[in-house]
Chain A
Amino acid sequence: MAKILMKGNEALAEAAIRAGCQAFFGYPITPQNEIPGYMAEQLPLRGGVYLQAESEVSAINMVYGAAGAGARVMTSSSSPGISLKQEGISYIAAGELPCVIVNVMRCGPGLGGIQPSQGDYFQAVKGGGHGDYRLIVLAPGSVQEMADLTALGFDLADKWRNPVMILADGILGQMMEPVDFPESYEPLQVEKPWATTGAVNRKPNVVNTLDIVPDSLEKKVEQLLEKYERIKQEEVRWQEEGTEDAEIILVGYGTCARIARSAMEQARKEGIKVGLFRPITLFPFPEQQLKSLAGPRRSFLAVEMSAGQMVEDVRLAVEGRSPVHLCRRLGGMVPTPEEVLAKIHELVEGRVSQ
């Protein structure tokens, strides 16, 4: 298929429609507005339903209803809006309802700004709502991946009956890159006997997350945890470049991985053995893969647009086998390859500031 120059947000929306998204419930918030805009224009023309809800809280609960009725459904927002959706997301995870939730991150905390950020990592990966649950979290690093991971997200959501979050940022959402869409897309076909479609010739289905009997609820949460373990075994995705001989491995996802790659290339030119490790799934996090790379003569440098959140998971994975450092910017400022390179030089010259 010929490549089209598209904004990340629009490529994501187009991919969702091609993946069979039947309903989209949105609400305006920068920097993700192109997604509801694209959906409002395209989805009704292509057999789907678009609705702008009165708030992100309502939107996520509309997703709950539509997903519970068996439809492929998506919503999108940016950081503050995603915070509003957390209660609904906990219900969706508890109800094991498949759906795709897109967070085009902006800088915070508070109203913050509209520049890009990665400050919602903990919220996305550790569970921002109440109770023990996890989302499958996919981190696109290009406009092409904004499309590909969204389509994948719908399949993973149905395969695991679990909400999937696409964790992007304002740069990935707003920038344009060529993208091509597969000629024909075969969405995963999955039966949904549990869905509330009207009890015709069967016992009624109930989509419910309430259980006031503790040992019964414990069993249900245990089942969720078992599912998450299986997801950890089967769904880890990452990318490595130049890690075989690397003394310093840069670790970054999304936009920061692109910046780290430039720093890596520059460092390599200077003869410094630098590699790049890019998690694509933030849950399940590529722990084993990072652990296998860890060793005495090697250190890790996480690059993030936050106070350092993913870096903690790198430290957990590495289990002290290697030092783990951080290079980061805040407030919507974006780290530059030069800053990352400067940090690399610090590490090489041994003058390390944690």
Chain B
Amino acid sequence: MRGQVLINEERCKACGLCITACPQDVLRLSKTINSRGYHPVEAYQPEKCTGCTLCGVICPDLVLTIQREIPERK
């Protein structure tokens, strides 16, 4: 099952909580810098994301929007 994390870089404060919460090691801090001077998180292994939402649950700044492929019910 495929998932996807949409990241609002401007809201991220590089606290790192989502990185430790993600069971699939999808996320890491990026090299870019947002307007507040933080390195926002990036999905460097997006294909591993299952859309489990744990990263979003622990994010203190509503940076992450998570989508999941919902299999067609036959």
**A–B contact, 8 Å CB criterion (strictly below):** no
Binding site for B on A (CB under 8 A): none
